[in-house]
Each structure stands twice: as structure tokens, then as C-alpha cells.
């Protein structure tokens, strides 16, 4: 019974991180910075083009970092603004202090059980250095600010342009972040 319940829970938890397929229209009007595909935590390919036209907060995350409690603030931010065209996209990375050692399955379970995460979280990836994924390479090039630690945040407007970068120590619900999001969501 325990194994069956655990398995059912894991399937339900992983289902949260599944993302719908993008439309053809979204692909054709996809901003360059979003023109990438990444696996989600269920190892399914996801085109970032499906997030075109939304205000995005893109964050590199880790499960064993002093900033890990920011998952709570990221989820609150997502729930607060999602109906207005806002998304949080999480990219777990083990680049800083080896603070994301888990498998994708373990990351999914950690996020769901500890923080109730419902925003899209992608498969573990590199965000700095020679192996950095192309999204984080593009964001670092456009802003001149590569991540220096876990929970580095890039805010993109509806056209996919980075408009703000928030260092790790800045909490997701900090006024610096929310005022920028409010401004971008008000602009159509």
C-alpha cells in the first residue's frame, strides 16, 4: 500500500511540471531569447516559445542553498500574477556549491512536497560556464550579468526582452521585483 501511495504521489507531483505543447502561432512569433527547447522534470521537451507574450521571471534554483526558501516567494509571486500573463520558470542548476545534487525526480518531489510548486520547473541544467544552457548564455549576453549564485533572477517583458536582473539576495516578493512586474503587466 505504501509503495502504491508513494508511486501515485510521485506521478501526481511530476504531472504538475508537465507543460502544454506550444501553438504554431507562438512558434512563428517567438522572440529569439525564448527560441529554445528544454526538458521539463518529466524529461519531456518544452518549447519556451509557448511563453511568448507573457512577463517572465527566469530563475536558476537549487534545493540545498541558503536561498532555497525563495521557492516559497516564487510560488506566491506566480499565484499572485499568473492570471494577468505572468510566469515563473525555474531552472535547477548544480553550478554553485554543488547545491542541487538530486535527480530530476528528486527535485520534483522536493519542490512539490516542501513548497507546493506549481510553476514550470525544467530539468537540471548548467547556467554558467562553457556548459551553460543557451537561454542563460543569451540572458547573460543581453544583460552583461551572468548568475553569480543560485536564485539569480531575470525579468523579461512580453516581447522577451530582459528588463531587470535581480541578484540572489533579493527576495521574489521584494518591492523592487513586484513594482517592475506590476509595471510590465500594466503595459500591453
Q: What is the pTM of this model?
A: 0.86
**Choosing from 7, 30, 49, 65, which is the catalytic residue?**
65
What does the pLDDT look like over 79-97, one tens digit per residue?
A: 999 999 999 999 999 999 9
- Cell 508537465 locates to 18
What does the pLDDT look like over 101-115, one tens digit per residue?
A: 999 999 999 999 999
What 3 state SS string does the chain have?
CHHHHHHHHHHHHHHCCCCCCCCHHHHHCCCHHHCCEEEECCCCEEEHHHHCCCEEEEEEECCCCCCCCHHHHHHHHHHHHHHHCEEEEEEEECCCCCCCCCCHHHHHHHHHHHHCCCCCEECCECCCCCCCCHHHHHHHHHHCCCCCCCCCEEEECCCCCEEEEECCCCCCCCHHHHHHHHHHHHCC
Instruction: State the Cα–Cα distance between residues 69 and 65, nearest whole angstrom.
Output: 8
The answer to whether residue 7 is catalytic is: no
Phi, psi of 82 (to 5 degrees): -60, -35
The domains of the chain, with CATH numbers, are 2-186 (3.40.30.10)
Query: Which pLDDT band, with edges at 50, 70 and 90, does 29 fall under?
Result: confident
Query: Which pLDDT band, with edges at 50, 70 and 90, does 22 fall under?
Result: very low
Amino acid at each position: 500500500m505504501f509503495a502504491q501511495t508513494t508511486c501515485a504521489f510521485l506521478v501526481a507531483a511530476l504531472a504538475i511540471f508537465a507543460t502544454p505543447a506550444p501553438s504554431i502561432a507562438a512558434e512563428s512569433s517567438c522572440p529569439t531569447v525564448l527560441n529554445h527547447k528544454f526538458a521539463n522534470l518529466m524529461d519531456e521537451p518544452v518549447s519556451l516559445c509557448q511563453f511568448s507574450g507573457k512577463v517572465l521571471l527566469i530563475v536558476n534554483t537549487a534545493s540545498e542553498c541558503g536561498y532555497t526558501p525563495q521557492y516559497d516567494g516564487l510560488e506566491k509571486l506566480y499565484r499572485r500574477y499568473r492570471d494577468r500573463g505572468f510566469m515563473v520558470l525555474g531552472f535547477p542548476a548544480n553550478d554553485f556549491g554543488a547545491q542541487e545534487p538530486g535527480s530530476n525526480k528528486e527535485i520534483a518531489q522536493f519542490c512539490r512536497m516542501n513548497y507546493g510548486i506549481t510553476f514550470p520547473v525544467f530539468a537540471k541544467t548548467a547556467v554558467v560556464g562553457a556548459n551553460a544552457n543557451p537561454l542563460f548564455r543569451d540572458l547573460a549576453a543581453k544583460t552583461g550579468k551572468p548568475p553569480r549564485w543560485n536564485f539569480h533572477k531575470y525579468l523579461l517583458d512580453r516581447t522577451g526582452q530582459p528588463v531587470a536582473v535581480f541578484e540572489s539576495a533579493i527576495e521574489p516578493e521584494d518591492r523592487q521585483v513586484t513594482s517592475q512586474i506590476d509595471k510590465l503587466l500594466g503595459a500591453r
